[in-house]
Structure 1
Amino acid sequence: MGEAARMTLGGDKAAMAVYAMVYGFAWLGQSSYILVLGKCLQGILFHIELCLPIATALSCLLCLPIAVSVRHLSDSVLLCFINLFLILAVLTIVMAKMYYVGRPAQVNTFAFAQQMSFGSVFGAASNVVYSYAGHWLYFELMAEMERPEQFPRVFLINVPIQVSLYLLVACWGYHFAGDKAEGYFLDNLPDGPAYRWASALLFLHVAIAFLVKNVVLARALHQKLAPSRVDVDLREPQLQHRSSLAFHLWTPSADCVAV
């Protein structure tokens, strides 16, 4: 998107400003994934009662192996396909459990939420906008496609599924939980096997989503720090020679030669 800004808005300043906003937004968005991973780990180990900071730190350690194992978005196609079925399994477990338990007698539903404020409306609207805010990743995806002109198919397939799932979950959750609904969907379940399984599957789902965006951020950072090494695999035999040469010859002016 930075290069698109360079071509449409003109100049390096526009490109750098857009790069900073896009990757800054993505970096901040990763923090929300990490928080959800921590909540998921709390749900898996609900009998231990982990605090969120410790659960979040443990989640980061668990995700570290996959975070450094995938170098290109094209390597995550199968994971993304599996990810769809993971979230469908999570929603099925939660919604089935809510249906089995039934709607409590003290639950109330309203056409308009009571005691609305600017903050509550703005916060809810922000969540809706954030749910559809993956457009910054589109150019990154198209850049690795063999036939980028086929990318519009994403909207024909993904958007109806995404909108339908959001509406179904929102209506289902509000019907059974009403004004007692929790913001974190899984918190509407009581402690038990269903809560643990849903948390475990959601952990895997969010970890894959985190991985996909982490690939883009890590690659962007790698291109800034060592652009000539961004496509070098650690398993390549010539890397040892390159690293050795870089160790002996490194100076600010000789770095490119060493690599």
Structure 2
Amino acid sequence: MAISNQKGGEGKTTTAVNLAASLAAAERRVLLIDLDPQGNASSSVGYPRGAATRGSYDLLLGQAELEEVVHATELPTLSVVPASPDLAGAEIELVGFERRESVLAAACERARGRAHFNWDFVILDCPPSLGILTLNALVAANSVLIPMQAKYFSLEGLGALVGTIERVKAALNPTLALEGIVFCMYDRRTNLAQQVVTEVQSHFPGQVFETMIPQNVRLSESPSFGKPALLYDIESKGAQAYLTLAKELLERRQAGQS
């Protein structure tokens, strides 16, 4: 599942980390792959910049197989492929690769053929852009979860992202689907927020998650301690919201299978 929004500041990494942790807390085996050169998802689960010598860069460049770059976290059922410091250079280095948009998909496919690939969910944290790293995530993923704020400019960016998903689906990955849209940093007190939610719900019926992630200080603080919110303060509104989101996602998937 790719967590993607080409606009920065929409709650993308916060969602990737805390949804992954919440699914792990629901006894699912989860792998979080950090594809953002900023490495914020990695530091949020205990791997600040430089802590891991090998990670997603080595995987994308074919210098390591998936199982060689997987690291444990504080949660027993959550593993991470951290963003190695060289990841920023991957955009340029991949230019010379044949089928450069599919190197991550190929690496995952190779791993799936071996006994090591035993995760229920693989969460891909994408950079806030539509470059080659995000494209690799969209080609490798089965679905895309879009976090967004209930603001006007976020609404404009949503249309561009959905268009990109449709183009990737048509040209490179016919199995790609929209997992849903989740509102982050939501302030229900403003009329604008309610209007944006209503508009998105009308354009994407049944695809907006009922769970909305509130503005929450604990969610902002937890990355500096190298922990997901549920390990930092499980009673906080932010941690509880992501636990509820994970439950809703699992229920939706179960309903879709039956």
TM-score by length of 2: 0.26
Q: Which has the larger radius of gyration?
A: 1
